[in-house]
Chains A and B, each alone.
Chain A
């Protein structure tokens, strides 16, 4: 007789829910915050620290005054909260320095154009109007400093003519690039030495377009930081690449010059270089020359970060296997071809974090111009505090300036991480 089986389960029992301590919010807390007694202590300490900071900061910032006339008035109303009125009263100065008030539209427009010029370079997939990025530098100089439109555009005209001359030579008459380049250079030089000035005069008579001239010492605030920072970043990158290549070169004279330059610049603080720019440069130039202080600063900052850039890129070059050089040479590529097509794309990709760090460093270093008494935001902060109305104000100004710099620098570092992910070829 068959044993009668009273009950056979046909289906699997549904799994019971995991213990409440392992999933959900509690599980997450246990795993991430209270996994051991040491971790629990650290968590409690951190939370305590955060609470203390926010406990003081939020009421201070949230209840801040925005519309008083002076610090005195703020303190009379409520001494325990922020006095952001200084920003209300002086934000224009922090942004534009001593730029004439009726011309504020010019730096503003320059900044908007900067975004237009920079976005296609940052995201080449989505935007394709590079011509504006090429025009932008001249346009920005004209908008910021003013003067005749033609004296800026003549530079573009001259360079375009030189390039056309070079291309015609190569296509029609000459095979040797170097000779063509030298001839084109001479042509351009002749153009700028003899033809450009009369031409500008002529154009000014025919079609006078000009903006009121604004001198460099009037530039200040974040406008100045951006002028120095952006120009430095744009110019130091190609110079850095050339220096890095020069340092790797097997031509001893070029190598020595590059090594000497890089080591010298990296060995001294930026401040001493800025002092050279403001104090000593007049010694090194022909007697009587006196050229623009902002331009001098830009040149020094550019050279400074170019040296650092060169070292970063050299690191990238050293990171490439030697086989890449040899393979490209055995394909019959010339030095510049193999640099352009094989070596640089890979070396630059490796060195993206370092390059962006150098950019960020450069942008932060623009604050040092306050030490040679240019009016960048940090310099302006002391100017504002010297005003009797705002004497004794610290945090509101510093927090605002720090926040502006943080946004720019943090943005750059985020972009570099995006770029690294985008260019990653090995999964």
Chain B
């Protein structure tokens, strides 16, 4: 019996750094790192040289200087005397507003279209796929300018509402006016005691959450299901409603009315905001519809058949068997579409809506000449939003994905 001969131990040679798999990975990394750092320092060095040539420094002090420009749509108090930092904040809030409203509309529309596309009704299914293909295959920028054109060109001017026999009338019992200068809604006016109402509303929502938990536990323990939906609706509506009348209607609506050549009071949504939000919502809803459809189709048919053979009714099959499984597949891409919507809202410039790119990355940048700093802050904002959302996706994936092994 011969013992296996060991290979003679090689002495280290320089060429082994590239040819030996033990060292190759390391040397590759070192080379990459050196190249990366070299490029990085080259860029930084160029920037420093260029800034010196232009006699500029890097400083963020401009954020505390007077902005000197007006922003026509804002959520917080702002005048042209406010600072650039304030303007950026107004822009950030405007971006978030578009993103928030857009995501809600897109989700509702997307769910609706996605489910209808699975309909057995031939004409409805075809109509929905036309909707999806139409929105997905045309640039969102084009949709934004088209919706903007639709809102400004095909709606009546405020003065069309004037006179005894006006050419245009307000909708919904004289409360909503759609004009080429924007849409006017009634605004809620909070009188004294309104906060109690809000508190009551908040408390009922908390109560509903606890009630649903209780009902679920009850179902698990005893198998009996309570009429959760109707009780929840009742709990949310009635206490607040009773308090509302008991306290003498502390919240009233302030209707927009025509004064001179324009509407006064009420909530004024400008066409720029509406066009941007609606176009983004339509566009994103087409993607969401496809996600919803794919998610529902991914749940195998055996699941619904098995549920049916257990004797569950169709709506129970949907809510207890299909949706919980489909949601696992739907939610991560859904959220990344929300993220896309938020990033696409930077197209606001096409309709003149003042989002963060319009204030910080637009007028502030041009007025102060601080391109580098403004763009850094702007990118930082978007990065922060997107990292926040993607960490949420990761959290969702970790806690809700089926653990196979």
Contacts and interface: CB of A to CB of B under 8 A. Distances in A.
Interface of A: 32-33, 35, 39, 42-43, 46-47, 49-50, 176, 178-179, 250-254, 257, 263-264, 266-272, 275-276, 279-280, 282-287, 360, 364-368, 370-371, 378, 381, 394-395, 398, 401-402, 405-406, 409-410, 413
Interface string B365-387: 10000011001001100110111
Contact of A251 (B25, B46, B120, B146): B25
B104 interface: no
Across the A-B interface, the 10 shortest Cβ-Cβ residue pairs = A267-B386, A409-B137, A269-B343, A32-B122, A364-B139, A267-B383, A253-B29, A367-B139, A269-B346, A394-B149
B124 A43 contact: yes
A276 B122 CA distance: 48
Interface residues of B, number: 59
A183 B184 CA distance: 71
A266 B340 CA distance: 9
Given A402-B142, A406-B138, A46 B357 contact: no
Contact of B140 (A46, A275, A364, A366): A364
A250 B382 CA distance: 29
A286 B36 CA distance: 17
A138 to B, nearest CB: 27
Given A178-B19, A272-B361, 4 more contacts: A275-B375, A364-B140, A405-B137, A406-B134
A276 B375 contact: yes
Given A266-B386, A394-B149, A378 B123 contact: no
Contacts of B316: none
B241 interface: no
B32 A263 contact: no
B136 interface: yes
B49 interface: yes
Contacts of A283: 46-47, 50-51, 371-372
Interface string B47-80: 1011101000000000000000000000000000
Contacts of A280: 371-372, 375
B379 A272 contact: yes
Nearest to B385: A267
A252 B25 CA distance: 10
Contacts of A398: 142, 145-146, 149
Nearest to B371: A279
B321 interface: no
Contact of A287 (B50, B375, B385, B386): B50
Nearest to B153: A394
B28 A371 contact: no
A364 B142 CA distance: 9
B233 interface: no
B188 to A, nearest CB: 33
B190 to A, nearest CB: 36
A360 B290 CA distance: 15
Contact of B383 (A264, A371, A401, A413): A264
Given A46-B127, A254-B28, A409-B136, A268 B383 contact: yes
A251 B28 contact: yes
Contact of B357 (A49, A271, A367): A271
7 contacts: A251-B25, A263-B390, A272-B382, A279-B375, A286-B46, A364-B139, A367-B139
Given A43-B123, A178-B19, A283-B372, A269 B47 contact: no
A98 B160 CA distance: 42
B141 interface: yes
A365 B346 CA distance: 13
Contacts of A266: 386
Nearest to B19: A176
Interface string B250-283: 0000000000000000000000000000000000
A172 B23 CA distance: 26
A42 B124 contact: yes
B145 A269 contact: no
B343 A378 contact: no
A47 B19 CA distance: 70
Contacts of A251: 25, 28-29
B120 A268 contact: no
Interface in B16-37: 18-19, 24-25, 28-30, 32-33, 36
Contacts of B120: 32, 35, 39
A397 B113 CA distance: 28
A268 B343 contact: yes
B142 A405 contact: yes
Contacts of B390: 263
B335 interface: no
A254 B25 CA distance: 10
Greatest chain A CB density within 10 A among B29, B47, B138 is at B138
Nearest to B126: A46
Contacts of A381: 145
Contact of B361 (A39, A252, A275, A365): A275
B127 A50 contact: yes
A360 B137 CA distance: 8
Contacts of B18: 176, 178-179
Contacts of B137: 360, 364, 405-406, 409-410, 413
Contacts of B46: 283-287
Nearest to A175: B19
A96 B153 CA distance: 29
Nearest to A408: B137
A43 to B, nearest CB: 6
Contacts of B133: 406, 410, 413
A137 B398 CA distance: 45
Given A263-B387, A280-B371, A367 B142 contact: yes
A251 B31 CA distance: 12
